Amino acid sequence: MSAYDFDLFVIGGGSGGVRAARLAAGLGKRVAIAEEYRFGGTCVIRGCVPKKLLVYASQYPEHFEDAEGYGWHVGERSFSWPELIAAKDKEIDRLEGLYRKGLENAGAEILESRAEIIGPHRLRLNASGQEVTAEKILIAVGGAPNPHPEMPGSELCISSNEAFHLDELPKSIAITGGGYIAVEFANIFNGLGVETTLIYRGPEILRGFDMDMRTNLREAMEKKGIRVVCHDTILDVAQAADGRLKAETRQGHVFNVDKVMMALGRLPNTKSLGLESVGVQTDAKGAIEVDQYSRTNVDYIYALGDVTDRVQLTPVAIHEAMCFIETEYKNNPTTPDHDLIATAVFSQPEIGTVGLPEDVAAERYTELEVYLAKFRPMKATLSGRDERTVMKLIVNAADRKVVGAHILGHEAGEMAQLIGVALKGGCTKDDFDRTMAVHPTASEELVTMYNPTYRVKNGERV
């Protein structure tokens, strides 16, 4: 019997923490998991899941319009934001229950409290003041929206957290940020009929994604009525006499809107966690520094998920948790594999992507073949909707390996999951060419682009 209260103490009941706690408890370890807010963490409570539900809700107006082209005449429509939020909350409650049940069934002790490290192997539960000890501590506390308190009027703004619980749908919103959360919410609000402006300081939205996806998505969003303002940033937000907000930008724009949403990055939840009491190293942003086995510089403390600022995605946090269990409790040292992570932006249309964007591939490889198709999806023929699907494959000419696949269009996220398997398996363009098409689909384009659209040699398009 160990001298500690627990074999493993997990701080944070989100994607990574819950998976690690459940697996360790299932192996017979004495596990406690502390959560200060709600089990399920960011993804389930105020991230991926509620976001996707709002995305679905926001797509209905286009479905109703498109139906006309197919002979359907949809009658009078009305939308209730409170009903949507209540339905969404019910589903989130259900999922939270499943997370708790999974932990209970595995035998983990659930602690509804903030936990802080107060000394070697020692933690305090803030709810009760109780102190406990653990042989190993796993920090999976995730992150939170950066509130930018230095910006005048930041306290008047909302973040993604509040966007899920607004009392009423605003008539107008300005969203500042150009990452996927800002872009997704701009599409959600616009789809629900909110006058939406997206303000981003960079030259194009979605830094880090392939440029053809970025520009084509921005154009599609503008066509739907979203005002996208690049090269600009909000400097000041003030309460106006009419109860609305007045947001002033660096370029001198003034936006009078009901809500201002800030989506300017996330900060790791490491403040007041007691890391300094045991000397856990963090970087300048406060993210916990770990080695390839998610070990911190303190030999019994581990960290994974968003708090380590490696790749901030739910499947990555879960994968890191599974690698931690293999390494620490199954005598099978396993390092997380962060290569070729397929991912999606749930914009409208969606982006699905895996592998390298063209500009990064061009730096890495001497010669690329680029296959690019832009076409009107079949559904848009009868509906008459003016939209385009874009598909792009990037191939290393030397060995014919497909090193990047990027899709903008309906269900691009679903396609990215499958094409991710092909890239992970090291498929070449020849493998794509000898794969029979599924007809009629949009994705058949991925296996029927026989000739390169252009080549890139030594970084230059030829």
Ligand X SMILES: Cc1cc2nc3c(=O)[nH]c(=O)nc-3n(C[C@H](O)[C@H](O)[C@H](O)COP(=O)(O)OP(=O)(O)OC[C@H]3O[C@@H](n4cnc5c(N)ncnc54)[C@H](O)[C@@H]3O)c2cc1C
Residues that bind ligand X (CB under 6 A): 11-17, 34-37, 41-43, 47-48, 51, 114-116, 140-142, 160, 181, 269, 273, 305-307, 312-315, 317
In the complex, least distance from residue 308 CB atom to ligand X, rounded to whole angstroms: 8
In the complex, least distance from residue 395 CB atom to ligand X, rounded to whole angstroms: 27
**Closest to ligand X by CB, 235 or 298:** 298
**Closest to ligand X by CB, 141 or 175:** 141
Q: Which residue has the tokens 């993604």?
A: 160
Cβ atoms of 225 and 349 within 8 Å: the answer is no
In the complex, least distance from residue 198 CB atom to ligand X, rounded to whole angstroms: 15
CA dihedral over 209, 212, 218, 221, signed as positive or negative: negative
| Phi, psi dihedral angles at 376 (to 5 degrees) | -85, 125
CA 206 to chain centre: 12
**Closest to ligand X by CB, 351 or 442:** 351
Q: Which residue has the tokens 């070449």?
A: 428
Is 439 considered catalytic here?
A: yes
Q: Which residue has the tokens 């909302």?
A: 158
**Closest to ligand X by CB, 19 or 429:** 19
The distance between the two most distant Cα atoms of the chain, rounded to a whole number of Å, is 72
**Closest to ligand X by CB, 278 or 447:** 278
Can you tell me whether residue 416 is helix, strand or coil?
helix
Cβ atoms of 398 and 365 within 8 Å: the answer is yes
**Closest to ligand X by CB, 115 or 415:** 115
Question: Could you tell me the CA-to-CA distances from 63 to 194, 223, 242, 347, 407 in Å, in that order?
Answer: 17, 17, 35, 15, 21
In the complex, least distance from residue 153 CB atom to ligand X, rounded to whole angstroms: 22
Nearest C-alpha neighbor of 220 from the set 349, 27, 94 = 349
**Closest to ligand X by CB, 42 or 353:** 42
Count Cβ neighbours within 10 Å for each residue of 278-301 and write b for 16 or more, e otherwise: bebebeeebbbebeebbbbebebb
Classify residue 437 by its DSSP letter. Answer: P
The H or E element containing residue 214 is: helix 211-223
In the complex, least distance from residue 2 CB atom to ligand X, rounded to whole angstroms: 23
Q: What count of Cα atoms within 13 Å lies in the side-chain half-sphere of residue 140?
A: 38
In the complex, least distance from residue 180 CB atom to ligand X, rounded to whole angstroms: 7
In the complex, least distance from residue 60 CB atom to ligand X, rounded to whole angstroms: 20
* Catalytic site residue from 121, 165, 338, 439: 439
Cβ atoms of 209 and 369 within 8 Å: the answer is no
- Cis omega (within 30 of 0) for bond into 440: yes
- Strand pairing of 301-303 and 131-139? parallel
Give the chain's count of helices (H) and strands (E).
Answer: 13, 23
Residues annotated as catalytic are 439
